[in-house]
Amino acid sequence: MADKASRALVVYGDGLADLVSPLHSHLHSFVSRASCGFLSLRDPPDAQESENARRIREIAQLLDVYDFYTAMKGHHAEMNISKDKDDLSVPTISQRFMGLRAAIFTDCIDVGSFASKLGFTVSQLSELIKRVHAGVNPCENFDNNATVLELLKLLGFSGGEVLEDYDYDLVFLHITPDHKLNDEKSGKAINTDINFFNKFVGGVVNAAHPGSLVASRLHFSVVLSYGAVSGSDQSCSLNLNLFTETNSDLLLLCPHQSYTMKGGNILPDIRHHHPMLIAQWQEGVTRRDIAMKFCFDDFREQ
């Protein structure tokens, strides 16, 4: 049990879930020590939703401000929120969580703009990587651990010590697939997709190894989503009644799953497939479950 306030690092792989392979050993190793689960998502209100709109909509759900986001966009289906967009005030993350100081690193301009409205300090991930690796040859010796250490410093973790003077209580990384950073000197590309993601997770676990001061104070969350998926694709389904006769009277006896409800109300637009995959770990705080792979099937069985 933690006796002091934790500091949080969240790494979100937006659309990376399908790219995880058995070779991404750091992700699977992390899952083996973490508490794992799902975050169900809503169906998009607009069938012609753009990729940036999808990213913001899903991050809004991850940060639990979806009702405010949809109200601002003019969708009020089941919301108990004022319908006058001019009167809407989205609470900042600092207001919601007792003065919490939060930063987000993303290369998606629209996501950064949305996060700034929520009170996040916004920076570009690519600029952070450039700054950390200035003067080194990244094409062959790109060291993810240097990026890890730089971010941990923002949370007050340095040299294995926990500092009382630090910048943020929460640091959030938003990583998208197939985004590459070109080194100005070599002209070669640095991957910032699933391979970067995998190595980054390994670097954090290495810095917060069991028994260390960092491990006892760092709450580390790894989140993967599937990105844009077709409504006809019912793989990775959460619906336990998928193969039950839809006209069966037995369905009337089946209670609604908790993920389909909020505040005692049934949500009509829940997507019953391709949820976000979430693994969380803090030494001595989170429970370990039996999942061994960062994939839907392992999370469902645990």
Q: How many percent of the chain have pLDDT more than 90? A: 54
In this structure, the strands spanning 189-191 and 180-182 are antiparallel
Half-sphere CA count of 149, side-chain side, radius 13 A: 12
Mean pLDDT over the full length of the chain: 83
Angle at 46 between CA 123 and CA 60, to 5 degrees: 35
Backbone CA torsion sign across 102, 7, 168, 179: negative
φ and ψ at 145, to 5 degrees?
A: -60, -30
pTM of the model: 0.86
CA 248/CA 154 separation, integer angstroms: 55
C-beta atoms surrounding 93 within 10 Å:
22
φ and ψ at 56, to 5 degrees?
A: -65, -45
Ranges of the chain whose pLDDT falls below 70 = 1-2, 74-88, 135-143, 178-192, 231, 240-255
Backbone CA torsion sign across 93, 94, 95, 99: positive
For 244-288, what is each residue's pLDDT tens digit? 445 556 555 666 777 777 777 788 888 888 999 999 999 989 999
Domains present along the chain, CATH in parentheses: 7-301 (3.40.720)
Distances (CA, A) of 126 to 48, 106, 119, 299: 29, 8, 21, 31
